[in-house]
Amino acid sequence: MLEQTQRVRENPRDALNASDDPFALGEAGPGTALISAGIHMGTCPAGTTVRELRRRYADAYEIDPDAVALLDGSEVDDSAVVREGQSLTFITRIGEKGTIISR
């Protein structure tokens, strides 16, 4: 039979680095970090601000200008610097109520 048993990985990041994964990004090499927005995921240069990465990848990753930046799961502003090995995720919050400004 041609069936093969898939190995279970404890750490989700291991799936990104697995050589047998056809959708793997490859190992984030020295000087890189992970970046994702919606269905898009890849690597980016470390030592760069969130603002610069947002600008650089806006079209390719379809990053909404109002998207919130999460660095390793914590919300950060655009002046934060992405370090080697970190994970930067852009999310667009939906269903939030806006503020009412009275005149």
Range of the structural domain that residue 42 is part of: 27-91
CATH number, domain with residue 53: 3.10.20.90
Q: State how far the alpha carbon of 26 is from the alpha carbons of 13, 33, 35, in Å.
A: 11, 12, 13
The structural domain count of the chain equals 1
Query: Would residue 37 count as lying in a domain?
Result: yes
In tens digits, the chain (103 residues) has pLDDT values of 566 665 655 555 554 444 454 445 555 567 999 999 999 999 999 999 999 999 999 999 999 999 999 999 999 999 999 999 999 999 988 776 655 555 5
3-state helix, strand, coil in the chain (%, to 5): 15, 25, 60
H-assigned helices in 1-94 = 12-17, 50-57
